[in-house]
């Protein structure tokens, strides 16, 4: 009798596995193919992960000419058992990103990636996200950000002084700006958003850097439920980094609560709730605040530092735009004047340069979502449970949208705002767009303006062009430029 029950159980489990591992994906694949959406065929259990990893490895193993073109198309692929629809059509993107969070929301993170981002905004869904977002938003409004300008200017001046010392008596000196801008951005973020010193923040950035490497490994494979609890060597390292990061942030939070002059920084807002949104009640629990801080430490530094790195490389390559920008800076900041908050809107050419940089080399080159219900995207019927891979980089390089010079650096295309909502979205679209946008743009303008005013620069012969995606789009081998002091500064 027992064997009969076991046999029935075995048949039941086998049939259920066949249903979800073979039948459901096959049916979904057919459903999309009938609507004209093709792509690599589904492979049981792992989907197309092996191909994706192989292609990533190949792409990372070689450098490419310093041009800005990439390949694009719309297709269906498989991330494990999950269908993933890659979208590069602005009409469809416009239907996905700003959609209601009851219909389309972010993906659940791989639990191992949560150790890096925490349960902060990008990892939250539904109404919990709404509550956190409302509390954090006032910390990044433009008036708040403008009040940070003097601190940003002081940090950039300090960095340029070090460049100048490094140059010494020489006409020009090579600077690897990728590392420089990461340190700079870390310092600015610590001082402004967290109201702490760079030294305090530095340990957190170092711990997160190590966690990034482990997160990348986790994100490239299918997560097996329960795996994160196994005491493997890598998991133990993840746990240690996580504990140290949380402890270091806790120290900053505790010190912040004892400081009287901290009412406007992010930590205070998160702890107390926003004064403008009394209906939200009290702030977040301390563990939730730590999670949000982890997110902001990571998202704030990686993105802005990489954006400025690409902008400087592009200006080093395009001397005509460097000269135009310099002309503007000398006009806005006369003599020895430094950038001030009221001058930000006068940097029109620098704004265009930043927009064009974010078009060609946006640090975030794709956005992920999933349908919670059956939805219509453009003319396509999409079943619940489908993931969307919104190919931001592809849309930003599309010749049908940007014209035949789509792969050229041409900031003048931003003299007018882009025509279509879904064609340009470096900071995302809809309610889940980037909360740190104001900070990123003001910071980037100040850094560029101050460098351009003091130095001229060209791409160093030691620079190797190999953009790579390591959570943010970055130059794989660093960004080397040769800087020369401007004689009449
Ligand atoms: C050039 C710099 C930056 C770029 C290109 C950028 C890009 C983006 C994009 C595309 C999104 C939307 C993600 C999605 O829709 O899933 C996003 C979200 C986010 N960004 Fe940024 N970002 C930048 C700077 C910053 C800074 C400086 C901070 C914080 C200090 C920040 C914090 C965040 C957070 C917390 C979210 C999640 C927002 C939410 O879910 O409510 N970002 N960013």
Q: Write out pLDDT tens, residues 1-15.
A: 788 888 888 998 888
Segment 308-318, tens digit of pLDDT = 999 999 999 99
Q: Please report the pLDDT score of residue 276 as a whole number.
A: 46
**Cβ atoms 350, 329 nearer than 8 A:** yes
* Mean pLDDT for the chain overall: 88
Q: Please report the pLDDT score of residue 277 as a whole number.
A: 45
Residues 397, 401: Cα–Cα separation, whole Å: 8
Q: Kindly state the percentage of the chain with pLDDT values over 70.
A: 92
Segment 324-372, tens digit of pLDDT = 999 999 999 998 899 999 999 999 999 999 999 999 999 999 999 999 9
Ligand 1 and 118: CB distance under 6 A: no
Taking alpha carbons only, the member of 211, 185, 120 closest to residue 432 is 120
Q: Which string of DSSP letters, residue by residue, matches 288-332?
A: HHHHHHHHHHHHHHHHHHHHHHHHHHHHHH-HHHHHHHHHHHHHH
| Rounded mean pLDDT, 257-280 | 65
Query: What is the CA(215)–ligand 1 centre distance, in A?
Result: 18
Q: Please report the pLDDT score of residue 73 as a whole number.
A: 66
Query: What is the CA(28)–ligand 1 centre distance, in A?
Result: 32
CB-based contacts of 428: which residues, under 8 Å, 6+ apart?
A: 97, 364, 367, 434
Q: Give the residues across from 368 on adjacent strands.
A: 389
Q: Please report the pLDDT score of residue 54 as a whole number.
A: 77
Ligand 1 and 304: CB distance under 6 A: yes
Q: Please report the pLDDT score of residue 108 as a whole number.
A: 79
Segment 372-423, tens digit of pLDDT = 999 999 889 999 999 999 999 999 999 989 999 999 999 999 998 877 788 9
Segment 228-252, tens digit of pLDDT = 888 888 889 999 999 999 999 998 8
**Cβ atoms 450, 156 nearer than 8 A:** yes
Segment 155-191, tens digit of pLDDT = 999 999 999 999 988 999 999 999 999 999 999 999 8
Burial class of 203 by CB neighbour count within 10 A (0 to 12, 13 to 18, 19+): middle
Which sequence spans correspond to the domains of the chain? 2-488
Taking alpha carbons only, the member of 306, 343, 345, 351 closest to residue 325 is 351
Ligand 1 and 133: CB distance under 6 A: yes
Q: Give the residues across from 211 on adjacent strands.
A: none
Enter the pTM of the model: 0.90
Query: What is the CA(141)–ligand 1 centre distance, in A?
Result: 14
The pLDDT of residue 281 is above 60? no
| Rounded mean pLDDT, 424-428 | 96
Taking alpha carbons only, the member of 201, 135, 205, 140 closest to residue 443 is 140
Q: Please report the pLDDT score of residue 194 as a whole number.
A: 85
Q: CB-hemisphere CA count at 13 Å for 275?
A: 6
The pLDDT of residue 57 is above 80? no
Reported confidence tier of residue 275, pLDDT bands at 50, 70, 90: very low
**Cβ atoms 476, 307 nearer than 8 A:** no
Pocket test of ligand 1: the residue of 132, 293, 303, 365 to mutate, having most ligand atoms within 8 Å of its CB, is: 303
Q: What angle separates helix 286-317 from helix 233-258, to the nearest 10 degrees?
A: 100
**Cβ atoms 360, 392 nearer than 8 A:** no
Q: Give the residues across from 458 on adjacent strands.
A: 482
Q: Which string of DSSP letters, residue by residue, matches 409-438?
A: --GGGGGS--S-GGG--TT-SSTTS-TTHH
Pocket test of ligand 1: the residue of 427, 441, 473 to mutate, having most ligand atoms within 8 Å of its CB, is: 427
Long-range CB contacts (< 8 A, 24+ apart) of 335-341?
Answer: 338/153, 338/157, 338/450, 339/149, 339/153, 339/445, 339/446, 339/449, 339/450, 340/149, 340/153, 341/146, 341/147, 341/149
| Rounded mean pLDDT, 70-77 | 70
**Cβ atoms 158, 188 nearer than 8 A:** no
Pocket test of ligand 1: the residue of 113, 426, 434 to mutate, having most ligand atoms within 8 Å of its CB, is: 434
What CATH topology corresponds to 2-488? Cytochrome p450 (1.10.630)
Q: Please report the pLDDT score of residue 260 as a whole number.
A: 59
Taking alpha carbons only, the member of 14, 20, 17 closest to residue 385 is 20
Ligand 1 and 121: CB distance under 6 A: yes
Q: Please give the residue that has the higher pLDDT: either 264 or 484.
A: 484
Q: Please report the pLDDT score of residue 263 as a whole number.
A: 60
Reported confidence tier of residue 47, pLDDT bands at 50, 70, 90: confident
Pocket test of ligand 1: the residue of 121, 299, 392, 393 to mutate, having most ligand atoms within 8 Å of its CB, is: 299
Q: Please report the pLDDT score of residue 267 as a whole number.
A: 84
Annotated binding site for heme: 434
Segment 116-165, tens digit of pLDDT = 776 899 889 888 899 999 999 988 999 989 999 999 999 999 999 999 99
Q: Please report the pLDDT score of residue 383 as a whole number.
A: 95
Q: Please report the pLDDT score of residue 71 as a whole number.
A: 47
Ligand 1 and 427: CB distance under 6 A: yes
Q: Please report the pLDDT score of residue 274 as a whole number.
A: 44
What's the helix, strand, coil split of the chain in %, to 5? 55, 10, 35
Nearest-CA residue for ligand 1 atom 36 is 434
Ligand 1 and 306: CB distance under 6 A: no
Residues 268, 136: Cα–Cα separation, whole Å: 10
Q: Please report the pLDDT score of residue 446 as a whole number.
A: 98
Please state, in angstroms and as integers, the Cα–Cα distance from residue 437 to each residue in 358, 425, 453, following that order: 12, 11, 24
Reported confidence tier of residue 202, pLDDT bands at 50, 70, 90: confident
Q: For ligand 1, what atom is nearest to the CA of residue 443? A: 27
Ligand 1 and 447: CB distance under 6 A: no
| Rounded mean pLDDT, 466-479 | 92
Segment 215-228, tens digit of pLDDT = 887 777 667 777 78
Q: What angle separates helix 286-317 from helix 198-219, to the nearest 10 degrees?
A: 90
């Amino acid at each position: 009798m027992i064997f009969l029950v076991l046999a029935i159980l075995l048949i039941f489990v086998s049939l259920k596995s066949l249903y979800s591992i073979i039948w459901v994906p096959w049916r979904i694949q057919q459903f999309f193919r009938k609507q004209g959406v093709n792509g690599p065929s589904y492979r049981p259990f792992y989907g197309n992960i092996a191909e994706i990893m192989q292609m990533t490895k190949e792409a990372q193993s070689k450098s490419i000419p310093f041009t800005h073109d990439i390949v694009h198309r719309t297709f269906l692929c498989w991330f494990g058992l999950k269908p993933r629809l890659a979208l590069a059509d602005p009409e469809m993107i416009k239907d996905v990103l700003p959609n209601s969070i009851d219909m389309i929301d972010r993906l659940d993170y791989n639990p191992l990636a949560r150790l890096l981002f925490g349960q902060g905004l990008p990892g939250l869904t539904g109404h919990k996200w709404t509550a956190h977002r409302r509390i954090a938003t006032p910390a990044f409004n433009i008036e708040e950000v403008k009040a940070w300008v003097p601190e940003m200017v002081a940090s950039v001046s300090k960095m340029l002084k070090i460049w100048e010392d490094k140059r010494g008596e020489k006409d020009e000196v090579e600077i690897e700006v990728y590392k420089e801008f990461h340190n700079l951005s870390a310092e600015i973020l610590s001082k402004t958003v967290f109201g702490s010193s760079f030294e305090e923040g530095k340990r957190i950035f170092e711990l997160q850097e190590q966690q990034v490497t482990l997160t990348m490994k986790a994100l490239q494979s299918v997560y097996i439920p329960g795996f994160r609890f196994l005491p493997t060597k890598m998991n133990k390292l993840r746990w240690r980094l996580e504990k140290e990061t949380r402890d270091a942030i806790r120290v900053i939070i505790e010190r912040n609560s004892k400081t009287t002059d901290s009412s406007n920084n992010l930590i205070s807002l998160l702890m107390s709730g926003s004064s403008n949104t009394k209906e939200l009640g009290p702030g977040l629990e301390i563990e939730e605040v730590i999670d949000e801080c982890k997110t902001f430490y990571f998202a704030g530094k990686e993105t802005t530092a990489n954006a400025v790195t690409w902008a400087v490389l592009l200006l080093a390559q395009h001397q005509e735009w460097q000269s135009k920008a310099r002309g503007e800076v000398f006009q806005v900041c006369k003599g020895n004047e430094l950038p001030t908050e009221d001058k930000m809107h006068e940097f029109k050419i620098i704004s265009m340069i930043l927009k064009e940089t974010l078009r060609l080399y946006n640090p975030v080159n794709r956005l992920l979502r999933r349908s919670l219900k059956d939805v219509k995207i453009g003319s396509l019927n999409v079943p619940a449970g489908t993931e969307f891979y919104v190919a931001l980089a592809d849309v930003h390089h599309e010749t049908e949208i940007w014209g035949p010079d789509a792969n050229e650096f041409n900031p003048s295309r931003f003299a007018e705002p882009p025509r279509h909502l879904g064609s340009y979205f470096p900071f995302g679209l809809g309610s889940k767009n980037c909360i740190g946008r104001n900070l990123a743009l003001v910071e980037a303008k100040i850094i560029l303006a101050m460098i351009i005013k003091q130095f001229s620069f060209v791409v160093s012969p030691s620079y190797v062009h190999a953009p790579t995606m390591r959570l943010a789009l970055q130059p794989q081998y660093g960004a080397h430029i040769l800087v020369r002091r401007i004689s009449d500064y």
